[in-house]
Structure 1
Amino acid sequence: MTRTDVRDSLYPDCPIRNVLSRIGDKWSLLVLFTLEQHRVVRFKELQRSIPDISQKMLTTTLKTLEADGLLLRKAYPEVPPRVEYELTERGKSLLPFVDNLIGWALDNMGDIVEARKAYLLK
């Protein structure tokens, strides 16, 4: 059991820990941002939009976001199979916060990089 698992098991009802641990990973915000750009997206379109994500990681991330009710997965019984993803109302309600975080990151990344360099030179 990792330290994170132990900490989360000690505070299972903490909304901050729960939400941040689910959307604060490397891929979830990128998937949500990509889904914001399109109403409905197929799996391969998502994978092309985030070129450095593996198929396995994208699948895992989509399942996690679906389990939290942030996106809807719709599979069509066709050959070849077609699967589409779209944001739920809960997912859409998160987008203003995601957009603010992205804007903040864009506005501050240069200064953050400079601060990191200065810190390393101390």
Structure 2
Amino acid sequence: MLRTSHQRAVLCRSCPLAKVADLVGDSISLIILRDLLEKPRRFTDLQLALAGVSSRTLTLKLKKLEKCGIVSRHHDFRLGNKVVYRLTKKGAAFKRVAAAMRAYGKKYL
């Protein structure tokens, strides 16, 4: 059955997989999550891992992840009031998804 572009868009918005792909389906967001799964990071640490990505792009990605409740932003006074990004409980739940993606990549790519 052929669907109109509007019908496909509605189906995508109601599909959990499409929603996750929209949120973290780009390489920048995946690298951010990969690094934050290890430990909290400062902006500059994340930027080093994403060589070639502009500060503006990284900022926009972090804000999107923060708005969705995946990442939280904190001031760490031990580091001289530097901003540190860490995963929320919702973000930490991505660990199993990342592990499955890593296993798939090792096996098939």
2:34 is equivalent to residue 33 of structure 1: yes
Cα gap change, 1:11 to 1:51, in 2 (>3 Å):
closer
Task: Please name the residue that 2:22 is paired with.
Answer: 21
Q: What's the TM-score, normalizing by structure 2?
A: 0.78
Q: Which has the larger radius of gyration?
A: 1
* Structure 1 contact 8–17 (Cα < 8 Å) conserved: no
1:29-75 Cα distance to aligned partner (Å, 9 max, x none) = 1100011122x211001111222322111111101111111110114
The answer for unaligned runs of 5 or more in structure 2 is none
Q: What's the TM-score, normalizing by structure 1?
A: 0.71
2:50 is equivalent to residue 66 of structure 1: no
Task: Please name the residue that 1:112 is paired with.
Answer: none
2:54 is equivalent to residue 54 of structure 1: yes
Deviation at 1:11, TM superposition (A): 5.0
CA distance in 2 between counterparts of 1:62 and 1:68 reads 10
CA distance in 1 between counterparts of 2:54 and 2:44 reads 11
Cα gap change, 1:48 to 1:14, in 2 (>3 Å):
same
Deviation at 1:81, TM superposition (A): 6.0
* Structure 1 contact 30–50 (Cα < 8 Å) conserved: yes
CA distance in 1 between counterparts of 2:86 and 2:8 reads 32
1:2-49 Cα distance to aligned partner (Å, 9 max, x none) = xx99954675443222221111023111100011122x2110011112
Cα gap change, 1:10 to 1:105, in 2 (>3 Å):
closer
Cα gap change, 1:27 to 1:11, in 2 (>3 Å):
same
Task: Please name the residue that 1:85 is paired with.
Answer: 85
What stretches of structure 1 move > 3 A for 4+ residues in a row?
4-14
Identity in percent? 28
Aligned residues: 103
- C-alpha RMSD over aligned residues: 2.6
